[in-house]
Structure 1
Amino acid sequence: MRVHGGDAVVRTLERLGVEVVFGIPGVHTLAIYDALYSSPIRHILARHEQGAGFMADGYARVSGKPGVAIVITGPGVTNIATAVGEAYADSSPVVVIASNVEQAWQGQMLGHLHDCKDQLGIMRALTKWAERAQRVDEVPALLREAFAQAVSGRPRPTHVEVPLDVLRGTGEIDLVQLELPTRITPQPSPAAIELAVAAIEASERIVLYCGGGAVASGASAELVELAERLGAAVLTTIQGKGAVPEDHPRCLGNLWEAGNPVDRLLRQADLAIVFGSKLGAQDTENGKLPLPERRIRVDIDASEVLRQYPPSLAMVADVRAAARALLEALEARGVWRPGWSVEELAACKRAALEQAWGAEHATWLQALRAALPRDGVLVNDMTMMAYVGNRHYPVYEPRTYLFPTGYGTLGFALPAAIGAKIARPDAAVLALVGDGGFQFTLQELATAVQFELGIPIVLFNDASYTAVKDEQARSYGRRFIAVDLVNPDFQHLAEAYRIPAVRVTSPDMLAEEIGAALGRSLPTLIEVPIEFAV
């Protein structure tokens, strides 16, 4: 059929099963928006393109499906760039569709509206895959490839650029013949499984170390069964929280810190199996994590398995597929390992929690946990109380703990929570923010109000960029500069957005107000005045 370029974009998205897109219209993307007018695809109007990108990211992290954002030429692309960088760092499948000036004008800087010197180059630097549609008939295949690349192998953001002459032009497309993308899940080789089983049989105390790849693969049931069969201790990264329920007697969560009880337990291990983690600098404190010399690394990304902490055995495979194959091989041989007793692990966990960083603030996280159902979603910003939560907030199900780990940008939580709530409208979704980071994207309150999203926003307010201030105290002789904030009255700010707001002074009050907020159809701002020792 013959269609305009904007129709080609929208009809292809429909064919690919897209139900929702995030974005802000502009004159360059009106051909797409005109097609959306007659489409069943739901459009969520953000207030800034960075917010739209974080919304798409939150949607992707919770649903496991690509989150789609549509932005305009030039400033729309550079505005969303931070969110794309975050999605790349944390392996989130976001698909960004952007317009551009007509192809004949590109790179010449002739003064056309939104002209950008090398827009596609910007996006290629930030994404797994990025291409330009040069004709209308190329649009379906390119969008299909963008989705395939986003979900195949290691999930990451992708980009399709559709210039104005393509959006406003016409061409023939055939969506009936468009092959729908499927997630490619590499399987472990039988030889690798045999070697892994031999290593397990030769080991007494085994650690399973689970990263974001374990969550992305949906391997929770297999990992629990494996831990029980091997008598293993289970540790997670921040992105891996929820891969194994943290109330399982073998799960120590994200409690490792150099020199603490979990550190001492790790030094007793004679085999580590690392599932879907790059063993990055933040999670290992720059290589201090004491994994045993004998280690197996399982990762869908071949570029990761031989980098940090080189393994005895590398397995390029989907985590769930590898765990399942291991279980089948162990069962066939009747292999069980004694490992640690659950009493040993429970004692280790109790001691680690008592000593963990931020323990003096743990009651606030306990209040959050008590107020949210087991499958409730906590979306964190880069803020002090969220850092406490990385240790002290237990996660029971995958895809229910979102944190901007890799890129570490502020302003993530509120828009990502909006995306999460759109993905799971019946779930309890809560945004945890600080007073500094909240002001990066607070305008997205308007989006939450417009679409009637009952998201509690818990704002810990200490009028400071405290993480930076703490580093100035430790490394720069307490020479504090540019870290103390003059904030708005957040209660009045909430009133301006016509949403409920309350200030609480105890964990019990916080839990009560979260419960009330979850029953509303609008966001609620819950402010918690707090002080952190610096």
Structure 2
Amino acid sequence: MTTVGEALISLLEAHGVDTVFGIPGVHTVELYRGLARSRIRHVTPRHEQGAGFMADGYARVTGKPGVAFVITGPGLTNTITAMGQARADSIPMLVISGVNASLTLGKGLGFLHELPDQRGMMEKVALFSHRVENASELPEVLSRAFALFVSGRPGPVHIEIPTDIMAKPADGLFPHPVEASTPQPDAATLAEAARLAGAASRPLILAGGGAKMAEAPLRKLAELLDAPVVETANARGLLHKHPLGVPASPSLKAVRVLMAEADLVIAAGTEFGPTDYDMYGDGGFVKPQNLIRIDIDGKQIGRHPATLGIRADCAATLEAMGELLASSRRNASDEGWGAARAEQARSASLEEIGPAMRGQVEVVEMIRDALPGSIIVGDSTQPIYAANLYYDHDRPSGWFNAATGFGALGFGPPAAIGAALAVPDAPVVCLSGDGGFQFTLPELGAALDAEAPVIFVVWNNRGYREIETSMRDVGVEPVGVSPAPPDFCRLAEAYGMGAERLEAIADLPAALKRARAAGKACLIEIGVE
């Protein structure tokens, strides 16, 4: 007899799942029944929040949904923060949990891990939440989840299975075909987009996280239009060192000037969120008057109406626009405007962020240059904030962090583990502050268990320095911003992990190369006065 738990594993395999992150418990034992015999790898974090962040990091570098298994009640509530981050950043994530036996739900009988309405709670965070009440539902709900990941704006999906359902017979279940595809642009809309772009003499492209898998068509279109490409934090790694690339935040005055000078703006996969476009809250961002928006989410387009809205996949739309423009003549009255203005915007942006932040950007550049083609996963810490303002990474999808959008502290270490397992040949560096690192410090053990060769770089300024500065700036006496850090190197060594503390930031490149050569997880601590 095949049980629901065993069928679940087979169905996940059929959907291409090769890794799940989770902590088993008495409420999910039956979900694990078929796992050992499957081709799916199980990775055990030290906390369910870590399971969600690992799934997030895995998804960001592969484009495939990250999958987490968690128990009912506290296991699932521990995962909500990671789901919130995935929802904010449009990351495909499938969270499968247990829930108490069907006949007990909603009765307040005091069962272990009981919640008044677990699914109702999850519906507020997930794209959808579904309870499997009989075995036959399982193929259909999984197909619905995987269809949603490709047909619209991705995010977290939650499926819960009652403990009494997990062990029921489930013979003869087969995966339903995923009856969905990525939305494609229609011919008439494309023709209008090409007409608008062809008529522009000073076009500009805004690239967001939705364009991070579309580097080739983005580059082609930018070159055809001679259009500067402004990259939000989630798009960094596109057009590295390209004359048209502007790896700077639209919150900077220099970038806003560039946008104001454009007579057409093409926004590809960006939601115009304040953490990208108005992070200082000065209200200085002005939506372009002549605007083409490309987004897979029609609701998102409606929130910031445009001259032309295209609900479609970014890569397909940029590719099609490039093909149309390549075969037509366009207004070339300002030929050469793009590269010259991109260079001016880069120079002005770097000057604008000031010497302190430029110094922190140099630290990130040290990591990039010491380990070319690396994936740098950040937490909310000073060098990450600085680099989100201005930094040119050298690998698409190789720069991401939780310092924009939802802003979950502690994201970096587990997300880096997920990324390292997804792309084992790439160097993966987690850059975290001492405060944020303590949120998910035990995941050092998970990195060793999973043989994930993450290089953990801890920027230790002995507290929440960014928050302390913010308090002082508005005349608030700092309180609660100086949590004492542990001896990170000794903690790493206690896990059996190599570690070293640097006397000077200039020693970082050599330390990174030593760590990479070791081929396993290790920790580097940088003391910051």
Q: TM-score range by the shorter chain?
A: over 0.9
What whole-Å deviation, never above 9, does each CA across 1:281-313 have from its counterpart, x for those lacking one?
1111155234531111111100011223x3111
Equivalent residues in 2 for 1:250-265, closer than 5 Å: 250-260=244-254, 262-265=255-258
Q: CA deviation at 1:183?
A: 5.9
- 2:375 corresponds to 1:384: no
What SS does the aligned partner of 2:518 have?
coil
Report the Cα distance in structure 2 between the residues aligned to 1:443 and 1:26, rounded to whole angstroms: 19
Match of 1:303 in 2: 299
Q: CA deviation at 1:255?
A: 4.0
Report the Cα distance in structure 1 between the residues aligned to 2:202 and 2:182, rounded to whole angstroms: 29
Q: What is the identity, as a one-letter code, of the residue corresponding to 1:19?
A: D
Counterpart contact for 2:292–2:307, Cα < 8 Å: yes
Match of 1:455 in 2: 454
Report the Cα distance in structure 2 between the residues aligned to 1:448 and 1:466, rounded to whole angstroms: 27
TM-score by length of structure 1 reads: 0.94
Which one of the candidate residues 192, 198, 202 is aligned to 1:201? 198
Farther-moved stretch of structure 1 (249-258 vs 495-504): 249-258
Q: CA deviation at 1:450?
A: 1.2
What whole-Å deviation, never above 9, does each CA across 1:395-445 have from its counterpart, x for those lacking one?
233211111221101000100000001101111111010000001111110
Report the Cα distance in structure 2 between the residues aligned to 1:442 and 1:51, rounded to whole angstroms: 10
Report the Cα distance in structure 2 between the residues aligned to 1:401 and 1:363, rounded to whole angstroms: 15
- Specify every segment of 5 or more residues in structure 1 that has no aligned partner in the other structure, as ranges: none
Counterpart contact for 1:369–1:393, Cα < 8 Å: no
Counterpart contact for 1:95–1:150, Cα < 8 Å: no
Match of 1:281 in 2: 274
Match of 2:243 in 1: 249
What whole-Å deviation, never above 9, does each CA across 1:503-526 have from its counterpart, x for those lacking one?
113333111111111122332111
What SS does the aligned partner of 1:35 have?
coil
What SS does the aligned partner of 2:236 have?
coil
Match of 1:237 in 2: 232
What whole-Å deviation, never above 9, does each CA across 1:195-232 have from its counterpart, x for those lacking one?
222222332111100111111xx221111011111110
Report the Cα distance in structure 1 between the residues aligned to 2:89 and 2:178, rounded to whole angstroms: 22
Report the Cα distance in structure 1 between the residues aligned to 2:341 and 2:399, rounded to whole angstroms: 27
Which one of the candidate residues 308, 311, 326 is aligned to 1:313? 308
Q: What is the identity, as a one-letter code, of the residue corresponding to 2:266?
A: I
- 2:465 corresponds to 1:469: no
Match of 1:74 in 2: 73
Q: CA deviation at 1:339?
A: 5.0
Report the Cα distance in structure 2 between the residues aligned to 1:519 and 1:336, rounded to whole angstroms: 52
Counterpart contact for 2:19–2:67, Cα < 8 Å: yes
Match of 2:186 in 1: 189
Q: CA deviation at 1:192?
A: 1.8
Match of 1:353 in 2: 350
Match of 2:329 in 1: 334
Q: CA deviation at 1:257?
A: 3.8
- 2:273 corresponds to 1:266: no
Match of 2:527 in 1: 529
Report the Cα distance in structure 1 between the residues aligned to 2:160 and 2:130, rounded to whole angstroms: 6
What SS does the aligned partner of 2:327 have?
helix
What whole-Å deviation, never above 9, does each CA across 1:316-349 have from its counterpart, x for those lacking one?
1111121122112212223364251524422431
Report the Cα distance in structure 1 between the residues aligned to 2:276 and 2:166, rounded to whole angstroms: 44
Counterpart contact for 2:46–2:443, Cα < 8 Å: yes
What whole-Å deviation, never above 9, does each CA across 1:80-119 have from its counterpart, x for those lacking one?
1111111111100010000111111001121212111111
Q: What is the identity, as a one-letter code, of the residue corresponding to 1:388?
A: A
Q: CA deviation at 1:528?
A: 0.8
Aligned-residue Cα RMSD (Å) equals: 1.7
What SS does the aligned partner of 2:20 have?
strand
- 2:389 corresponds to 1:420: no
What SS does the aligned partner of 1:108 have?
coil
What SS does the aligned partner of 2:161 have?
strand
Counterpart contact for 2:102–2:162, Cα < 8 Å: yes
- Specify every segment of 5 or more residues in structure 2 that has no aligned partner in the other structure, as ranges: none
What SS does the aligned partner of 1:27 have?
coil
Farther-moved stretch of structure 1 (77-86 vs 283-292): 283-292
Residues 111, 234 of structure 1: alpha-carbon distance in 2 compared, 3 angstrom cutoff: same
Counterpart contact for 1:455–1:517, Cα < 8 Å: no
Counterpart contact for 1:453–1:521, Cα < 8 Å: no
Counterpart contact for 1:137–1:172, Cα < 8 Å: no
Report the Cα distance in structure 1 between the residues aligned to 2:378 and 2:75, rounded to whole angstroms: 25
Report the Cα distance in structure 2 between the residues aligned to 1:377 and 1:78, rounded to whole angstroms: 29
What whole-Å deviation, never above 9, does each CA across 1:443-468 have from its counterpart, x for those lacking one?
11001111222211110011111222
What whole-Å deviation, never above 9, does each CA across 1:470-513 have from its counterpart, x for those lacking one?
221122x1411111121111121111111111111333311111
Residues 256, 138 of structure 1: alpha-carbon distance in 2 compared, 3 angstrom cutoff: closer
Counterpart contact for 1:436–1:463, Cα < 8 Å: yes
Aligned residues with identical type, % of pairs = 39
Report the Cα distance in structure 2 between the residues aligned to 1:466 and 1:170, rounded to whole angstroms: 56
Match of 1:397 in 2: 395
Counterpart contact for 1:230–1:336, Cα < 8 Å: no
Match of 1:293 in 2: 289
Residues 137, 183 of structure 1: alpha-carbon distance in 2 compared, 3 angstrom cutoff: closer
Report the Cα distance in structure 1 between the residues aligned to 2:65 and 2:144, rounded to whole angstroms: 12
Equivalent residues in 2 for 1:113-262, closer than 5 Å: 113-175=112-174, 178-181=175-178, 184-215=181-212, 218-242=213-237, 244-260=238-254, 262=255
Residues 97, 479 of structure 1: alpha-carbon distance in 2 compared, 3 angstrom cutoff: same
What SS does the aligned partner of 1:21 have?
strand
